[in-house]
Amino acid sequence: MKAIVYTKYGTPDVLELKEISKPVPKDNEILIKVHAASLNDWDMGLLEGDFVNRMLNGIRKPKIQILGSDIAGTVEAVGKGITKFKAGDNVYGDLSGRWGGFAEYVCAPENMLAIKPESMSFEQASAIPQAAMLAVQGLLDKGNLQSGQKLLINGAGGGVGTFAIQIAKLYGVEVTGVDRAEKLDMLRSMGFDHVIDYQKEDFTQSSKKYDLILDVKTNRPLSHYTRVLNPNGRYVTVGGSISRLLSALIFGRAASIFSKKQILIVALKANKDLAYMKELFEAGKIKPVIDGPYSLEEVPRLFRLFGEGLHKGKVVVKVIS
């Protein structure tokens, strides 16, 4: 089978399209023919190999050599212990911790997967799992989003942000989106009430205050974010560099002693809210924003596109038609 493989940490240049052996499912695994997969921040972190990701995936070189966690495909075969799925079922899910999505076939345990709705394309299904879970868990579980609030999304034009705006509008929230100029028209069309070009304006220096900040980037000092929070406001981060996230953890505990403002980190619960997102999708209330789909051969270039922040919504790869 064809797969995008990397044997050392580095830039997207270390990614190679190779012909490798098709995996064989164990008794507790499902073999999936991958129709589509999407790119996430975690893939980039594993590729570059920062300290935490090396601890997860090998200090000197990656143990798991095929990236891609969000997949959608068809069950090709099942192990003896599988009861939830059968060959021919169309499934989707987040394979975080296993990865392997940028390949024509991948094996996974059944608890990482759900049946794909018939009305949802494989490309749409592959775009949902990780980004949508981060949006739901950031806005609702940690953010406690309430009607009438003022919400700011930093990094609004990517996967998490484009799901978050659709969810937030169901709650009657005033939403400000921050991203680069090339994405602002898209943000307006999605229903953002206000948009900010971060290259021209630093929202943390503004006099405007927010009840909730959902941060996909975590690219500023935490004290700058709390400056523009209302007295009982919440700052929730779902991504960014490891050093910034550690700072959020430490600063958040300290801030809670002196203020009612809260600094919170989303520890992803993979696939937890797939049923909720399926319900919203089937009701026509959310629709994944897809950049692509692209071919498997283009994955190295797509990592560069993603790393430069030039993508809109979710970068999706069509693996097998």
Where the chain has pLDDT below 70, the residues are: 240-258
* Per-residue pLDDT, 248: 66
CA–CA gap between residue 298 and residue 149 (Å, rounded) = 41
Looking only at the bridges linking them, the beta strands covering 29-38 and 314-318 are: antiparallel
Q: Are 41 and 239 in contact (CB under 8 A)?
A: yes
Quote the CA–CA distance of 169 and 151 in Å, as a whole number: 10
How many whole angstroms separate alpha carbon 281 and alpha carbon 268? 21
DSSP bridge partners of 235: 213, 263
3-class DSSP assignment, residue 52: helix
Q: Pinpoint the residues of the chain covered by CATH 3.90.180.10.
A: 2-128+288-318
Phi, psi of 240, deg, nearest 5: 130, -175
Rounded to an integer, what distance in angstroms lies between the CA atom of residue 128 and that of residue 147?
Answer: 24
Question: How far, in Å, CA of 235 to CA of 254, rounded?
Answer: 14
| 177 close to 157: Cβ distance less than 8 angstroms | yes
In the chain, list all ranges with CATH 3.40.50.720.
131-265
Strand runs labelled E in the chain: 2-5, 16-19, 29-38, 70-78, 90-94, 105-109, 114-115, 150-154, 174-179, 194-197, 210-215, 229-237, 262-265, 290-295, 314-318
Reading the block at residue 311, the tokens are 């993508």
Neighbours of 220 (CB within 10 A): 17
DSSP string, 54-111: HHHH-SSS-SS-----EEEEEEEEE-TT--S--TT-EEEEE-TTT---SBSEEEEEGG
Q: Which residues contact 60 (CB under 8 A, 6 or more apart)?
A: none
CA torsion sign, 90 to 270 to 126 to 156? positive
Report domain 2-128+288-318's class: alpha beta
Distance CA(256)–CA(248), nearest Å, equals 12
Beta bridge mates, 265: 237
Check residue 253 and give its pLDDT: 61
Q: Taking a C-beta distance cutoff of 8 angstroms, is the pair 234, 213 a contact?
A: yes
3.40.250.10, 3.40.50.300, 3.50.50.60, 3.40.50.720: CATH of 131-265: 3.40.50.720
pLDDT (tens digit per residue) in 228-262: 999 999 999 997 666 566 666 666 666 666 678 99
Judged by DSSP in three states, 164 sits in: helix
Amino acid letter at 78?
Answer: V
Q: Within 10 Å of residue 237's Cβ, how many Cβ atoms?
A: 26
Q: What pTM does this model have?
A: 0.94
CA neighbours closer than 13 Å in the CB half-sphere of residue 185: 1
Look at strands 90-94 and 70-78 and give their pairing: antiparallel
